C-alpha cells in the first residue's frame, strides 16, 4: 500500500467506492459476495484518483476503533481512515461517492472531522436525510412518468456556519433520483433544454449545478 501511494500525485478530484476481485481459493480475507457478478473474493472500500486505486481497507477487517467511538458506522469509519491517508497539504478534495456512502450528515462530518478538507458529492438514498420538501413520489403510468420527467427540486442548507454550501436536490428521470453535494462551485437557476420525454422540441426550464 505504501508503494501505491508513492506512484501517483493525488489531485483535488478523488472518489470512494467498493471494489472486489474474484477469488476461488482459500484465504483469510476472502468474503462471501452474493450481490456482485464476479462472486466471492476480496472486498474492499477503496479511495481512487484518476482511475488509480490510491489506498483501500478490507471489509472483513475491524473498522477503526477511533471513529467507531465517535459514533460513526463501520462503513463510514473505514472511509474516514482512507481520507486520513491523503496528503495533508491544506487543499480541498472533492470526493465522488454513490448512495452506499453518502448522506447530508456524512458530508458535514467529512468537512469538519476528517482533517483533510473533504467535500463530497453524489447520489443519495431518500432515507439518508433528504429534506422532505424534495421528495418526489414515484409513478408507474407512462403518461405520469413523461409528465414528471425532468422535474427538479433543490434546497440549500442555511444558518449552519460549520457546514456552508450544502445542497440537496431531487431529479425525476424514470424514477426519483436524489443527490447531495457540498462541493458545488456554481448554481445556475435556469437553462433551456429540449424535452425528449415527449419526443417534441418543447423547451423547459431546469435547474442544474456545476461541481
**In this model, does residue 206 exceed pLDDT 50?**
no
Nearest Cα residue to 47 out of 14, 92, 93: 14
Residues 147 and 208 in one domain: yes
- Indicate the DSSP class of residue 198: G
Question: What's the whole-number mean pLDDT along residues 57-79?
Answer: 94
Tell which of 47, 65, 91 closes a domain: 91
**In this model, does residue 64 exceed pLDDT 80?**
yes
Domain residues for the domain of 16 are: 1-91
Residues 33 and 11 in one domain: yes
Task: Say how many C-beta atoms besides its own lie within 10 A of residue 200's C-beta.
Answer: 9
Query: Which one is predicted more confidently, 76 or 164?
Result: 76
Angle between helix axes 74-83 and 104-113 (nearest 10 degrees) is 40
| pLDDT for residue 109 | 92
Q: Give CA–CA dist 180/102, Å, rounded.
A: 8
| pLDDT for residue 159 | 84
- Residue 102 in contact with residue 123, Cβ under 8 Å? yes
Cβ contacts of 106 within 8 Å, gap of 6 or more: 76, 120
**In this model, does residue 73 exceed pLDDT 90?**
yes
Q: Give CA–CA dist 112/116, Å, rounded.
A: 9
∠ CA(94), CA(58), CA(121), 5° rounding?
Answer: 20
Residues 101 and 204 in one domain: yes
Residues 102 and 196 in one domain: yes
Residues 81 and 99 in one domain: no
Residues 111 and 200 in one domain: yes
Beta strands at 93-97 and 13-22: parallel, antiparallel or unpaired: parallel
User: Model confidence over 4-60: pLDDT tens digits?
Assistant: 777 888 889 999 998 887 777 777 776 666 666 666 767 889 999 988 999 999 988
Mean per-residue pLDDT of the chain = 83
User: Model confidence over 121-130: pLDDT tens digits?
Assistant: 999 999 999 9
H/E element, 75? helix 74-83
Residues 64 and 123 in one domain: no
User: Model confidence over 103-162: pLDDT tens digits?
Assistant: 999 999 998 888 888 999 999 999 999 999 999 999 999 888 888 888 888 888 888 877
Q: Which of 3-7, 58-62, 80-84, 207-211 has the highest mean pLDDT?
A: 80-84
3-state secondary structure of 117: coil
Residues 113 and 124 in one domain: yes
| pLDDT for residue 195 | 54
Tell which of 91, 113, 131 closes a domain: 91
Residues 61 and 126 in one domain: no
| pLDDT for residue 181 | 92
Burial 154-174 (b: 16+ CB within 10 A, else e): beebeeeeebebbbbbbbbee
Q: Give CA–CA dist 109/184, Å, rounded.
A: 17
Tell which of 54, 74, 91 closes a domain: 91
- Residue 87 in contact with residue 114, Cβ under 8 Å? no
Residues 116 and 15 in one domain: no
**In this model, does residue 190 exceed pLDDT 60?**
no
Residues 145 and 76 in one domain: no
Q: Total domain count for the chain?
A: 2
Amino acid at each position: 500500500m505504501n508503494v501505491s501511494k508513492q506512484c501517483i500525485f493525488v489531485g483535488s478530484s478523488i472518489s470512494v467506492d467498493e471494489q472486489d476481485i474474484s477469488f476461488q481459493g482459500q484465504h483469510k480475507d476472502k468474503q462471501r459476495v452474493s450481490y456482485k457478478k464476479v462472486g466471492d473474493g476480496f472486498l474492499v472500500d477503496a479511495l481512487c484518483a484518476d482511475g488509480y486505486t490510491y489506498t483501500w481497507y478490507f471489509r472483513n477487517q475491524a473498522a477503526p476503533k477511533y471513529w467507531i467511538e465517535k459514533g460513526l458506522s463501520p462503513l463510514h469509519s473505514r472511509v474516514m481512515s482512507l481520507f486520513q491517508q491523503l496528503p495533508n497539504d491544506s487543499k480541498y478534495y472533492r470526493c465522488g461517492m454513490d448512495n452506499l456512502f453518502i448522506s447530508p450528515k456524512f458530508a458535514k462530518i467529512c468537512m469538519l472531522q476528517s482533517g483533510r478538507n473533504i467535500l463530497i458529492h453524489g447520489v443519495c438514498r431518500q432515507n439518508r436525510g433528504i429534506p422532505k420538501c424534495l421528495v418526489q413520489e414515484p409513478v408507474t403510468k407512462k403518461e405520469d412518468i413523461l409528465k414528471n420527467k425532468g422535474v427538479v427540486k433543490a434546497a440549500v442548507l442555511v444558518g449552519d456556519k460549520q457546514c456552508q454550501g450544502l445542497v440537496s436536490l431531487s431529479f425525476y428521470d424514470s424514477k426519483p433520483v436524489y443527490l447531495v453535494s457540498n462541493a458545488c462551485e456554481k448554481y445556475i437557476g435556469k437553462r433551456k433544454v429540449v424535452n425528449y420525454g415527449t419526443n417534441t422540441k418543447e423547451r423547459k426550464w431546469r435547474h442544474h449545478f456545476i461541481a
